[in-house]
Chain A
């Protein structure tokens, strides 16, 4: 089993890079595969939502597709040597002017796929729309206004909200820029994707999203003429399709498939420790998990080492609610580890000695998307049952699971649900605030003043060092103590692709060979 320390210290010489699962655009322009003029067929593990407005979802599959179609002010390569580096794309510079203002200078000559020019007005429309609290995708730390100075300059203004504008420094790499025209006409926004990225959205054919190269992409037209993202919700099917030559690149592989494909000389395997953590979310707004003691009892019943054994190469150890790759990660001392004695003590304290009197708990998980979910779900169910919890495991296919994932008034479906959270930026609030702050609480539904307080505190910290300190000494430990969710492990993204894609670097989020550019 990989020790986190080794992982960090080794600098991952060789195979790994930190990441998020998006294909490096540079490869799209330079690779040999491109030369053949064939469409790249990517089999994705998650179905899309059908609503192309990026603020209406937190769907990972769709984020991957958006990565091809939309442009971002910056991109964060998240390389092991320089995890904090930002590469500029649509923006040429991000300059803090004072605590609450950051000036953005935009690149000239960029056009949206529908032909309209990219200007500051688009940035303004995007940010002011996306920060609204009714948006299902709660990525923003709060409301924000953007003041347009001229067509290529604007200022991000957070004065009214009272949090530092520098929060947008890393956040800018995660927010796709939409056209102001589309935002004014929501139906159009939802009907198709219109961005500034290297690929244009053509159509949705059944479960396949068809993209074609954008000849006006500012870095030059991609050599690969077309891209197809096809949702295939079954791991075996994805693997067999790759082996049969019906796909060029697949994601979310598990140990056994890696072994099989590794034996086949036609394919390459790419592994990367990612920004994604897998969580066991508790529904905290209804009984019985509204009691933190019960949640902690459940956490102490689970032996995460065994879970990691089930995962094999697809997971790695982590001891906090964010991935080791995120800003502010530390091994939290109070993190609940496997301790049956403590679990029993907490159960008794909560009024359910040895689990007597507990209602049956429903545990939902998906299959076909994340690796080994069914296997470790069965394992966890067994471990919980050993301590006296009565658990009913329901495995659902991806679409059904996606539909009951989110929190609803009344607590949402079931009592526990398995989910991964992957946000392509070192910004920890994309996980912590989105899930654990009462203004957002996407899945677990927790409303806890203490957690809110520590989250606000780290958000409002004025310097990066102070923010890190607050995160490591107050925020993460508090969250660990209250356990609104249990982070089971950090995912290792494994992709397999045909060797014909020579020169492909899947930079889960970066542009490794961007020696030219910084797009500047």
Chain B
């Protein structure tokens, strides 16, 4: 029952947050200078065509009206259509105006759904790699608070957090892809293309996991119930894995929720550098191209995912440690 109550409350709040987010982004886009209609009609159209198209597309109505229209569409599952990409998916430039009010333009939702799996795959692999790197270091560091393991953990974490991700990406492309030809670098033509971006992303996430593990494990190991377990004669391995780790896991799970924002940011840059066809890449291209519907669609999707993951995170934290307040 408690869980159900929690879920209902959080989902309701979540919807409110997504709503506010969409309003913020929507207004921001309309208020900031730069007219997307010019981009839609192409470089060569005369200004009366621009005005005609703008009015036809409803871009000259007051913001509230536009927002209402957008929301109505949203409730029906329609995120609108891209301003820039026709259904074929290509980027168009120059040339004469194509009428975007025909449904020849790519639906935003299709674009997002097409790219979401790639980004999820990247995120998943990155998380996996990050855990592979940080768990051994973090646990060792946490268990030996004053030993060299802790110093190593501290050094690794400081180093990783100080390396700019885009720079690392470039350096790794140079060495691993061009000089040593171990891994492919750009685009996506098979699973191996996800590895290099995932490594760079993992280096970005790892420091936070290491830090949380070392501190929380260190704290937990000090607590009395661990001492008790030792008195009771449990093996060290059993103590660490069955008891300590579970307790230390809570801040880790919480960390995921907070770090999601960083993860999304990192994904954007990494996808851009590696020309990886995910949501991040789409975001950069759409913002630079002022493709409003796509930007809005992505913002809403991201905040929905964000809210969703936070709910899951809190739920899991509760399941792992029922003392957590939800």
Q: Which residue of B lies closest to A234 (CB)?
A: B275
Q: For residue A190, which residues in chain B have a CB less than 8 angstroms away from its CB? A: 98
A514 contacts chain B at the CB level, 8 A cutoff: no
Q: For residue B43, which residues in chain A have a CB less than 8 angstroms away from its CB? A: 402-406
Q: Is the CB of B94 within 8 A of A59?
A: yes
Q: For residue A46, which residues in chain B have a CB less than 8 angstroms away from its CB? A: 93
Q: For residue B177, which residues in chain A have a CB less than 8 angstroms away from its CB? A: 240, 244
Q: Classify chain B: how many residues form its interface, as a range.
A: 20 to 34
- What is the bound-complex CA distance between A168 and B49, given in angstroms? 33
B146 contacts chain A at the CB level, 8 A cutoff: no
B185 contacts chain A at the CB level, 8 A cutoff: yes
A47 contacts chain B at the CB level, 8 A cutoff: yes
- What is the bound-complex CA distance between A406 and B50, given in angstroms? 14
Q: Is the CB of B90 within 8 A of A207?
A: yes
Binds B, one of A304-312, A318-326, A392-400, A463-471: A392-400
Q: Which residue of A lies closest to B88 (CB)?
A: A204
B283-299 contacts to A, CB under 8 A, are: 288-289
Q: Is the CB of A403 within 8 A of B186?
A: no
Binds B, one of A50-58, A87-95, A124-132, A274-282: A50-58
Q: Is the CB of B88 within 8 A of A56?
A: no
Q: For residue B275, which residues in chain A have a CB less than 8 angstroms away from its CB? A: 232, 234, 237
A220 contacts chain B at the CB level, 8 A cutoff: no
Q: A50-B95, A59-B95 are in contact. Are A409 and B88 (CB under 8 A)?
A: no
Q: Classify chain A: how many residues form its interface, as a range.
A: 35 or more
From the candidates B91, B98, B173, name the one contacting A231 in the complex (CB within 8 A): B91
- What is the bound-complex CA distance between A270 and B174, given in angstroms? 25
Q: How far is the CB of A492 from chain B (nearest CB, A)?
A: 24
B165-202 contacts to A, CB under 8 A, are: 173, 177-178, 184-187, 189
Taken residue by residue from 222 to 260, chain A's Cβ proximity to chain B (1 for < 8 Å, 0 otherwise) reads as: 000000000110100100110110100000000000000
Main secondary structure of the interface of B (DSSP, over half): loop
A31 contacts chain B at the CB level, 8 A cutoff: no
Q: A400-B288, A403-B39 are in contact. Are A48 and B92 (CB under 8 A)?
A: yes
Q: Is the CB of B94 within 8 A of A406?
A: yes
- What is the bound-complex CA distance between A240 and B170, given in angstroms? 12
Q: Which residue of B lies closest to A206 (CB)?
A: B89
Q: For residue A231, which residues in chain B have a CB less than 8 angstroms away from its CB? A: 90-91
A408 contacts chain B at the CB level, 8 A cutoff: yes
Q: Is the CB of B94 within 8 A of A49?
A: yes
Q: Is the CB of B95 within 8 A of A237?
A: no
B30 contacts chain A at the CB level, 8 A cutoff: no
Taken residue by residue from 37 to 65, chain A's Cβ proximity to chain B (1 for < 8 Å, 0 otherwise) reads as: 00000000011111101001111001000
B42 contacts chain A at the CB level, 8 A cutoff: yes
Q: For residue B173, which residues in chain A have a CB less than 8 angstroms away from its CB? A: 240
Q: Is the CB of B288 within 8 A of A246?
A: no
Q: Is the CB of B93 within 8 A of A402?
A: yes
Q: How far is the CB of A421 from chain B (nearest CB, A)?
A: 13
Q: Which residues of B contact A (CB under 8 A)?
A: 38-39, 42-44, 46-47, 84, 86, 88-96, 98, 173, 177-178, 184-187, 189, 275, 288-289
Question: Can you list 12 contacts pairing A with B, beta carbon distance less than 8 Å?
Answer: A49-B94, A51-B95, A58-B94, A136-B96, A207-B90, A207-B91, A231-B90, A246-B189, A402-B93, A403-B93, A404-B38, A409-B47
Q: Which residues of A contact B (CB under 8 A)?
A: 46-51, 53, 56-59, 62, 136, 190, 203-209, 231-232, 234, 237, 240-241, 243-244, 246, 397-406, 408-410
A50-B92, A246-B184, A399-B289 given; 16 more Cβ-contact pairs under 8 Å? A47-B92, A51-B96, A53-B96, A56-B96, A58-B94, A59-B93, A203-B88, A204-B89, A205-B89, A206-B88, A241-B186, A399-B91, A402-B95, A403-B38, A403-B93, A404-B43
